[in-house]
Amino acid sequence: MKKKLILLGALLALLTACGQETPDATSENFAQQEEGSAEDTTEVGDVEEIGEDADAESSTLELGEDQTLINIYSIGEDGTLQSTQIAWTRGDDQAIWDELQASRILNEESEWNSTTVTEEDKTIILDVNHGFGEFIRGFGTAGEQEIIACVVNTFLEAYQYEGMKITEEQEPLMTGHRELDSYMGIQTL
């Protein structure tokens, strides 16, 4: 009988302790992440975009005569697409590539070779180096899809086009899981 009472008392103490909320590293990190991202972005559906209440630096971004604001896509810690805006001059695709690298979607070995834009068809062919091919082949299916989505969505939205093909040294890009030999539209995750 004493054993049952002791066991019941220990169980009651354990349940009482579990009911108390104690901060842990995860909740603190999440709170810090939320504070930081609230300054830069606001979430809209599955995509985060800079909102009207963005920080002063983003809201005072001055556009040059031939510039427009475009979204640079990346993946948030929660696995959703998010974007930040930059001022961009149409045709300056190296600037897009540099921003994708700065957002850590692409590594330093991934290089942009050329972009072929077809106005009539509203299509883009983006040629990349072997470094990009090796980089993307190092990911699983989900990681591969995330990288493709960020690159494709960034370029298609920047040009306001409908289809994009990615080639590796002028050949269809072979990822670790598929051959990208056709045009792709806006990607979702």
Could you tell me the two tokens for 113? Answer: 């070779």
Pick 63 or 136 by higher pLDDT: 136
Q: Select from 94, 89, 69, 74 the least CA-distant residue to 157.
A: 69
> What are the DSSP calls for 113-126, one per residue?
EEEEEETTTTEEEE
Give residue 164's pLDDT.
98
49-60 pLDDT, tens digit per residue, is 333 334 444 455
Name 181's Cβ contacts closer than 8 Å, sequence gap at least 6: 165, 172
pTM: predicted TM-score of the whole model, two decimal places: 0.69
- List the single range of 62-71, 92-101, 112-121, 139-148 with lowest mean pLDDT: 62-71
For β-strands 171-174 and 179-180, DSSP reports them as antiparallel
pLDDT at 173 over 70: yes
Give residue 5's pLDDT.
42
> What are the DSSP calls for 59-126, one per residue?
HTPPP-TTEEEEEEEEE-TTS-EEEEEEEEETT-HHHHHHHHHHTTSS-TT--EEEEEEETTTTEEEE
pLDDT at 172 over 50: yes
Give residue 92's pLDDT.
95
Give residue 65's pLDDT.
84
What mean pLDDT is predicted for residues 74-90? Answer: 93
CA distance 67 to 86: 10
CA separation, residue 140 to residues 21, 68, 152, 161 (Å): 37, 34, 18, 28
pLDDT at 8 over 50: no
pLDDT at 13 over 50: no
Range 137-165 burial, b when 16+ CB lie within 10 A, else e: eebeeeebbbbbbbbbbbbbebbebebbb
Name 187's Cβ contacts closer than 8 Å, sequence gap at least 6: 145, 148, 149, 152, 153
What mean pLDDT is predicted for residues 141-163? Answer: 96
Give residue 56's pLDDT.
40
Contact between residue 106 and residue 135 where contact means Cβ atoms under 8 Å apart: yes
Mean pLDDT (the chain) is 77
What mean pLDDT is predicted for residues 84-103? Answer: 95
